[in-house]
Amino acid sequence: MPTRAPETSLYPAVKTFLEAQGFTVKGEVRGCDIVAVRDAEPPVLIICELKLGFTLELVLQGLDRMRAADDVWLAVAATKKGRDRDSRAHRLCRMLGFGLLAVTPAKARVEMLVEPAPYQPRRNAKERKRILKEHGARRGDPTRGGSTRQPIMTAYRQQALDCAAAMREGPKQPRDLRPVAPDAGSILLRNVYGWFEKVDRGLYRLSESGHAALQRWGEDTP
């Protein structure tokens, strides 16, 4: 198995990158992997931490350096599909004000993925609206937070179960179900879970999987 290059392999390319911006660069200054200083009054101080991959430890090191530096950079070995390419990692760096560099030592190449700057979040109004709508529409609190290995009891699933429960005794039309499920028409038409079968125009009955769903989720139905 080939030996993985050490973190020091990132240093020459990052040093050259920072020197090209007018900084005097030195390694391992008071525990900092890289310290870059540009003459000014007061001096501009950049601290850069090196890691082969984007890790929690690297982020924590960056947080420690924030108290002393004007800017903090995180530099990692460049990959094609690794964490350095993850948009969530980029967003985290922006939230914290870090710069992020992807380094290819063999080619002495440095790619600036995120530039250090104060974070100004851009609201996702559509997603905020969806979250508020789902929270308000969901009946009770049917799913414990942190659940990953079972279906989530969404407001949509609750309405679909309400439709199924109302159809225990026989086929129904959407208008018959609207008192318990306002979205009954679209739920029956889309039939996302395969719980319903069309009997005639505008008339639906429970499928076998629908009966099975009532047995599985019985405690959550009327």
In a domain, 128, yes or no: no
Cα 77 from chain centroid (whole Å): 22
How high is the pLDDT of residue 39? 87
The pTM of the whole model exceeds 0.75: no
What is the tens place of the pLDDT at every residue in 30-56?
888 999 999 888 888 999 999 999 999
Residue percentage of the chain with pLDDT more than 70: 93
In a domain, 46, yes or no: yes
What is the tens place of the pLDDT at every residue in 93-104?
999 999 999 999
First vs last C-alpha separation in the chain: 61
CATH code of residue 182 = 1.10.10.10
The answer on 73 and 11 residing in a single domain is yes
Tokens standing for residue 148 = 């990953």
User: 2 pLDDT band (50/70/90 cuts)?
Assistant: very low
How high is the pLDDT of residue 127? 81
Enter the DSSP assignment of 172: B
The answer on 154 and 109 residing in a single domain is no
Enter the DSSP assignment of 3: P
Full residue range of the structural domain in which residue 195 is found: 150-217
Reply yes or no: is the peptide bond before residue 151 cis, omega within 30 of 0. no
The answer on 109 and 161 residing in a single domain is no
User: What angle do the packed helices 208-216 and 155-166 form, to 10 degrees?
Assistant: 110
- Provide φ and ψ at 136, rounded to 5°: -70, -30
Residue 12: strand, helix, or coil: helix
The answer on 91 and 12 residing in a single domain is yes
The answer on 207 and 161 residing in a single domain is yes
